[in-house]
Amino acid sequence: MQVEGSSAIVFGGASGLGQASVRRLHEHGARVTIADLNEDKGGALADELGDEASFVKTDVTQADEVEAAVAAASAAEGGLRINVCCAGVGWAEKLAGKRGPHQLQPFETVIGINLIGTFNALRFAAVAMLGNEPYAEGERGVCINTASAAAYDGQIGQIAYSASKGGIVGMTLPAARDLSSSGIRVVTIAPGLFNTPLFALLPQEQRDALGATVPFPNRLGEPPEFAQLVQSIVENPMLNGEVIRLDGALRMAPR
């Protein structure tokens, strides 16, 4: 599938990996809908990009808002062809400790945003893509999810985050199989340590130390490298039902 001329939606598109994906897709000729909770950042990005970019305020945990964002992206000629979900949050807390068991509410929040939010984006985008006219090989669309290396190498205090990202990994193959007869592909990217706004809050010395744990390249990943893979997935029809680790061969230590 070609990026140029396609309608795309990026959930969590106002910052970090999502913003890089928005920029890459737009640069290569896609009409991009930025779906994010942050109105200031999302609106500013749409204004900066200008033509063929728009913003829709979206909470991925709210089904009606996700459905409305998908409908907006689907209104473009040719229908929605590319769905990218980068919306996510983290939480640090051990399963049990001196203060007692892990709190339930933050666990539910992380699962709600990361896993259920991804599920919402996936299910509504897939329904929209079912109505598309297929291309020559029968392809109607592609959905790209964001998991994490933590789905495999969860560290101390990452039980909520790892569970949410592991759920995304687990959804990938059955989702691809569910949609295969309709020509809709599903692929997940599992990034390692990336230089996102979350890491920008850390002192440079600490960021350098984290980057030094990556075998090669010996640094943090950059969001445009994530976005480059997004484009490659869109354009390569044989990428389907797969989770791709994008981590420089990193295997995270317990802490």
Tens of pLDDT, residue by residue over 83-103, are: 999 999 999 999 999 999 999
> Could you tell me the pTM of the whole model?
0.96
Tens of pLDDT, residue by residue over 51-86, are: 999 999 999 999 999 999 999 999 999 999 999 999
Q: Are the C-beta atoms of residues 214 and 246 closer than 8 Å to each other?
A: no
Examine residue 253 and state whether it is found in any structural domain, yes or no: no
| Amino acid at position 128, single letter | A
Confidence of residue 126 (pLDDT cuts 50, 70, 90): very high
Q: Give the burial string for 144-168 (b: 16+ CB within 10 Å, else e).
A: bbbbbbbbbbbeebbbbbbbbbbbb
Tens of pLDDT, residue by residue over 12-50, are: 999 999 999 999 999 999 999 999 999 999 999 999 999
What mean pLDDT is predicted for residues 191-220? 89
Examine residue 251 and state whether it is found in any structural domain, yes or no: no
Examine residue 2 and state whether it is found in any structural domain, yes or no: no
Name the residue range of residue 182's domain: 7-246
Please spell the DSSP secondary structure of 87-132, one letter per residue: ------B-SEETTEEPPHHHHHHHIIIIIIHHHHHHHHHHHHHHTS
CATH number of residue 191's parent domain: 3.40.50.720
Output the furthest CA–CA distance in the chain (Å, rounded). Answer: 61
Confidence of residue 1 (pLDDT cuts 50, 70, 90): very high
Examine residue 90 and state whether it is found in any structural domain, yes or no: yes
Examine residue 254 and state whether it is found in any structural domain, yes or no: no
Percent of the chain with pLDDT over 70: 100
CA-based angle 196:199:200, to the nearest 5? 85
Tens of pLDDT, residue by residue over 158-181, are: 999 999 999 999 999 999 999 999
| Amino acid at position 202, single letter | L
- Integer angstrom CA distances of residue 10 from 82, 127, 230: 8, 16, 11
What does the DSSP 8-state code read for residue 194?
A: B
Residue 99's pLDDT is what? 93
What mean pLDDT is predicted for residues 185-198? 94
Residue 202's pLDDT is what? 76
- Integer angstrom CA distances of residue 123 from 85, 140, 169: 12, 14, 15
Residue 198's pLDDT is what? 77
Determine whether 135 is an active site residue.
no
Catalytic residue among 161, 166, 184, 196: 161
Examine residue 202 and state whether it is found in any structural domain, yes or no: yes
If one counts the domains in the chain, the total is 1
- Residue 29 phi, psi dihedral angles, 5° rounding: 100, 10
Q: Are the C-beta atoms of residues 4 and 75 closer than 8 Å to each other?
A: no
Output the average pLDDT for the chain: 96
Token pair, residue 86, equals 């980068």
Examine residue 255 and state whether it is found in any structural domain, yes or no: no
Tens of pLDDT, residue by residue over 197-209, are: 877 777 888 888 8
